[in-house]
Chain A
Amino acid sequence: DTGVSQDPRHKITKRGQNVTFRCDPISEHNRLYWYRQTLGQGPEFLTYFQNEAQLEKSRLLSDRFSAERPKGSFSTLEIQRTEQGDSAMYLCASTRGGSNTGELFFGEGSRLTVL
């Protein structure tokens, strides 16, 4: 399967714990996005990378959130000191850079439940 893959698919954690999600984009895609989605809402933009550079980060992200894409391939999203309000689906998407074709290819998401 050469699509976007995310790991883990499900994570249950206790409030205050740290969690990390990984995303492996489609190999030739140099742009990578992280979104958060809660029930009944559309995906909310969190951040995106072009290659290894993090070009924008949403104001939605508190200092507890950090994302990296160290070699311009896979990316990680870490949430420190999780809160119940962090419970959501975290979606990763990738696309080819250059002229914007518009199509984001999404992974199946990582569902976080904070107890």
Chain B
Amino acid sequence: RKEVEQDPGPFNVPEGATVAFNCTYSNSASQSFFWYRQDCRKEPKLLMSVYSSGNEDGRFTAQLNRASQYISLLIRDSKLSDSATYLCVVNRPGGFKTIFGAGTRLFVKA
């Protein structure tokens, strides 16, 4: 079993749709959690951190459920520019080793 698991998709949604991605992690002692975005043939970039209390950044909302070892990302009012791969990221205990999921691909269509 992979340490971080995501649905690979692809998710094909129309502009304006709401889409949600899920991620599970296996190490219950993992300390911090993130979503990264990776455009085609580009390097990954931080989208947002994920906190137990949940956090929101514009159209993006991230949630963490430590009991279920589950992370989610919600994108509201999808834009064409949201088309990318979304990577779920977990830091191991100690905070040094950063593990990436395989990514979920999103295509937003006009």
Is the pairing of A and B real?
Answer: yes
Whole-angstrom CA separation of A40 from B44 in the bound complex: 13
Q: Is B32 in contact with chain A by the CB < 8 A criterion?
A: yes
> A-B contact count, CB below 8 Å?
54
B93 → chain A closest CB, angstroms: 11
Q: Is B22 in contact with chain A by the CB < 8 A criterion?
A: no
Contact with B along A83-115 (1 / 0, CB 8 A): 000000001000000011011101111000000
Contact with A along B76-110 (1 / 0, CB 8 A): 00000000000101010001111111110000000
B55 → chain A closest CB, angstroms: 12
Asked if residues B43 and A45 are in contact (CB atoms below 8 Å), the reply is no
A106 → chain B closest CB, angstroms: 4
Asked if residues B98 and A42 are in contact (CB atoms below 8 Å), the reply is no
Chain B residues positioned under 8 Å from A31 (CB to CB): 96
A56 → chain B closest CB, angstroms: 6
Asked if residues B44 and A106 are in contact (CB atoms below 8 Å), the reply is yes
Question: In the complex, which of the residues B45, B89, B102 contacts A40, with contact meaning CB atoms closer than 8 Å?
Answer: B102
Asked if residues A45 and B97 are in contact (CB atoms below 8 Å), the reply is yes
Chain A residues positioned under 8 Å from B97 (CB to CB): 45, 48, 56
Closest to A108 in B: B43
Asked if residues B32 and A45 are in contact (CB atoms below 8 Å), the reply is no
Asked if residues B46 and A102 are in contact (CB atoms below 8 Å), the reply is yes
Q: Is B21 in contact with chain A by the CB < 8 A criterion?
A: no
Q: Is B49 in contact with chain A by the CB < 8 A criterion?
A: yes
Asked if residues B100 and A102 are in contact (CB atoms below 8 Å), the reply is no
Whole-angstrom CA separation of A104 from B36 in the bound complex: 10
Question: In the complex, which of the residues B31, B95, B96 contacts A56, with contact meaning CB atoms closer than 8 Å?
Answer: B96
Q: List 8 A-B contacts (CB under 8 A).
A: A41-B102, A42-B100, A42-B102, A48-B97, A91-B43, A100-B31, A102-B91, A109-B43
**CB within 8 Å of A: which residues of B?**
4, 8, 31-32, 34, 42-46, 49, 87, 89, 91, 95-103
**CB within 8 Å of B: which residues of A?**
31, 33, 35, 40-45, 48, 50, 55-56, 91, 99-100, 102-104, 106-109
